Structure 1
Amino acid sequence: MAGIYLHIPFCRQACHYCDFHFSTNLKNKDALVKALVQEIRLQKDYLEGEEVETVYFGGGTPSLLSREEVETLLLALKDNFLISNEPEITLEANPDDLKPEKLQELYAAGINRLSIGIQSFHDAHLQSLNRAHSAREAKNSIKFAREAGFSNISIDLIYAIPSPDDTLWLADLEQALALRPEHISSYCLTIEPQTAFGNWLKKGKLKPIDEEYAARQFEILLQRLQEAGYEQYEISNFCLPGNYSRHNSSYWQQKKYLGLGPSAHSFNGHSRQHNIANNARYLKALAKNEPAFEREELQRANMINEYIMTGLRTRWGCSLAYLQEQYAFDLKAENEQLLSSLFQQKYIYYEDGSLLLTDSGKLLADEIASRLMTEE
């Protein structure tokens, strides 16, 4: 089984925290859709005939696409790839785009899962992040989506937004739980250098995110969602039983995926490629039927380290047997002293032959993973 990701690199306005590849100039949207169709044709053999079980429209803001554009892209995929009978087809959307008519069109086009970028239910926080929607639109987007027929909805929330205390974060969680989405993705606010926030931090107009404040809000997140019946199956992802994101899970489980569009990444089991992160250059390359990507052949150490980094983030952890069978790598023997120390500090535990992180360990996931990586 494999997945396909389509990057739609357009937004109405730039969020102050976002460092994904996008443009607020929409004049090339039609040309981009045509280029995506061409790239689909050129890359039809990339997945080597494997059945595609998930399609994901990411961005950017894919909800800027019209029904006709979504249908055009899905038809091109069906014409060039083996799509499963019951694929998960996700589209990321901003609440301000999700009016009843738009939602009905998306549902009719074949989208069966929505990922709604709510981020917060508080207008002051939304304004500070430079989001285009209001708290009222955030709530209404889920209501309208239900009425349009969507039964698989994910929402994004951001924690550690500067605030005097945890009151607003607790209120955000309660509002989210009252709406009962099938899936919640929650990320710590980070300040990236090439963003408005990054520029303000450099100029002293913004304070760094307080690590203790962020850690406390992460712990509140874990406790409240667990109490409400949500399972944390990846550090930032929670779902009601049986509602994992099949697409995102494929990334963490080393399945093949093809990325289409500017800046999209692909993985086929032995190599990784990444597309040009420039709309004009991407369009120019596709117009000439030329490759719009650079490829990297992955070495044994790359594969081991990717598995450790992604596996540790999930509820399934890192299978010690898998590392041994696939790469002849004995994680415990290679890191005996470090693992013993992490175990004593209650950052890790073992279950059914896999290495997993405790809740305390999840706060240090990236650091722990980097210390376990091999330098071969």
Structure 2
Amino acid sequence: MDWDWGIRKSNNSRIYPDGRRVDYTTGTVTMSDVITTAPVKQVSLKSLEKKLHPRLLSLSERERIRDLRSAGQSLRAIGRALGRPASTISRELRRNSVAAGYHPYAAHRAAAARRPRPKERKLLREGPLRDFVQDGLRRRWSPEQICHALAKAHPDDQTMRVSVETVYQALYAQARDGLRWEVHTAVRTGRTRRKPRRGPGRRIPRFNDPMVMIGSRPAEVEDRAVPGHWEGDLLVGAFGRSAIATLVERTTRYTVLVHLPDGSRDSAAVHDGLVRAAHAFPPYLRGSLTWDQGAEMARHKQFTAATGMPVYFCDRASPWQRGTNENTNGLLRQYFPKGTDLSRHSPEDLEHVARELNSRPRKTLGWDTPAERLRDLHTA
């Protein structure tokens, strides 16, 4: 298509980006006003038809801007019609209008020409902007502090502006060039590589089998009205090389400690240990299990099939959703201090600790013990 190359058609004529007007009726070539403010780069059809992020204006939106502007609509009215801020419309017209007016095809082509990367980085050029940023980093300022300080120190100088992302990109580009120690000292996290982050909709599923989240848990579990619903987690030893599985019944606060052979915390060992523990429960105590999103529960579907107990998962970084178990693990640290090897404890050792913990009077139980509350369930 001619407009791909910046060519307009008008009254059996073609107007080229360099200002040439070819009139096919008379066969003459004349020079007219150039329709762009800068030389038009050659843009491929693929670039012009590329599917854009919704935050970027599309060709159809640019055509509507032209039509609404020609109809005398204000910037705010055009913005409302397109569902865009008025500032977006103002910036589009300011960037891409010429003496002859606003031309959507030329504007779309110019925007496509501006998109390609990489472009020259601001901070690669010697000058006061780079000096200011380097001085701020030496004073251990964060990139955000540097950007705001620039605007405050040079309120009328638009060349003394840089975004937070530009500063970070310059730092990590340095790290790739071998200046890792300098970047390590300049960035507060100490990272010399970017840490990718995904939005909730783009995260890779935690397990092959989909999780049932805690929001789907029945109301009877939440109000502790019915016994048999458990919360679980791993108590982890030194260097993450050993672990003990802990189970706490929500109604009675009764605790069960599950021995894992050699302290192994992989999904197979945890699955087998939890299944053995659950088979020791009477049927009325096999209600459900709530766990966090640890990799050790990758076999949660097999656990449910073997025990009949559905597994509900807490939201990410929300340990308070299984607060009973968290509090119990805190008590267990009296017996299993952090930084110790938990694999040296035998099943008999764990049974002794669980018995002692279940014999403690609890304020939340009216000073009954968990063992007494569980006994009452048996006799009821």
Query: TM bucket by the smaller chain?
Result: under 0.3
Question: Could you state the TM-score of these two structures normalised by the residue count of structure 1?
Answer: 0.23
Question: Could you state the TM-score of these two structures normalised by the residue count of structure 2?
Answer: 0.22
Larger-gyration structure (1/2): 2
- Which structure would you say has the larger RCO, counting Cα contacts within 8 Å and 6 or more residues apart? 1
Which has a greater percent of strand?
A: 1
